[in-house]
Amino acid sequence: MKVLAAVAGLGVLLLAVLGSPDRPLGPGPEVIGEREMVRVSGPTGKSAEVLALIDTGASASSLDTGLARELGFDLAAAPEITVGSALGRERRPVVDTTVRLAGRSFVAKTSVNNRSKRETPVLLGRQDVQGLHVAVGKRLLTQPDATAAPSALRILFAKAPAIDPVSMMALLPLAALLIVLLRVVVGLNTLGTFSPVLLALAYAQSGLPLGVPLTLAMFALGFALQPLLRGLHLPRVARLGVLIAIVTSGLIAAQLGLGSFGLSDSWGMSLPIVVTAIVTERLWEAWDLDGVRAAATGAALTMGTAVLVASLLLTPYVRELAEAVPLQLAVVCAVWTAVVGTYRGLRLSELFRFAPAARAQEGAS
């Protein structure tokens, strides 16, 4: 019963945190980050919610050519201006774009240029963000229709990093605490003790639409070459080294192949290469020892745990704690991890496993 009560309490806590109402991530309602989700609309009323770079170093705003055409702008008939940049001077069309940012709606005169190689299709200059404070190093603090931070799942599907490096370090002990709870109390076994933590950090930086397919692709690549590596009879360290090189090659190939879609130049580094290689090898071992079903279950539990941890790390309340009191959060998590580690009772999975035998014994007596 103690195990069930502990797990129930953990589940209620996780649901309360993940389902918590959105709240501002800053000292006031006028604070925005360096990257924010905005809604841009064209002359026909068609709109799109996209990621925007808030650049106070630029005086005016700009819009990607492809996005402008999707919104219904007639670029051939639009007036043009001469814009100077690090690449020289060029003529660009100028259109009036309706922008909604952090609950505000305004019309911005945006120059139109090719931003397909940039991280964001929209750039907002200082002329259009007057009255708002830009928090350096912070991202995704608001939603287009409100100053409240977006939910964890919305950030995970936005394909945009939302946690700064210091906050990320402060959240590592919290992620480790969650893994200890799942293993010690629940009895959840993943492919590698803390591999879900590193995968979760990767998903928090790259987003689920990119991170999950990329992980599956790397697993598939490793499995496809499994017979070749096994046939070479290499020692484990050499086999892991070759596998790391294979995973890295796959990431480089994917980066080069998908670069034309405007992904960030650094997204490929967000996937932990060494951890992916080790998890792939653990999959090989589970496949050989326990069969396909056990290997698939282990992979699903590992990736599912990683998504759960990433959702917890990106929850507005948790992000605010990591940004406001990172040192205190790390110390508290260390203490609670030690407390949880002292648990020696039956795990929840063991209770379910032994429940039929216990009922049979009670019936016999």
pLDDT for 97: 93
User: Rounded to whole angstroms, what are the CA distances from 324 to 240, 301, 333, 335?
Assistant: 40, 32, 15, 19
Spatial distance between the Cα atoms of 20 and 34, rounded to a whole number of angstroms: 24
User: Rounded to whole angstroms, what are the CA distances from 84 to 75, 89, 90, 112, 125?
Assistant: 19, 4, 7, 13, 14
pLDDT per residue over 148-171, tens digit each? 878 787 888 876 666 777 777 888
pLDDT per residue over 267-322, tens digit each? 444 566 777 777 887 887 787 788 878 888 888 889 889 998 888 888 888 888 88
pLDDT at 350 over 90: no
Spatial distance between the Cα atoms of 27 and 24, rounded to a whole number of angstroms: 8
**Facing residues of 41 across strands?**
47, 98
Residue 145 one-letter amino acid = D
Residue spans per domain, the chain: 31-148, 165-354
Query: What pLDDT band is residue 213 in, cutting at 50, 70 and 90?
Result: confident
pTM, entire model? 0.71
Which CATH architecture is the domain 31-148 placed in? Beta Barrel (2.40)
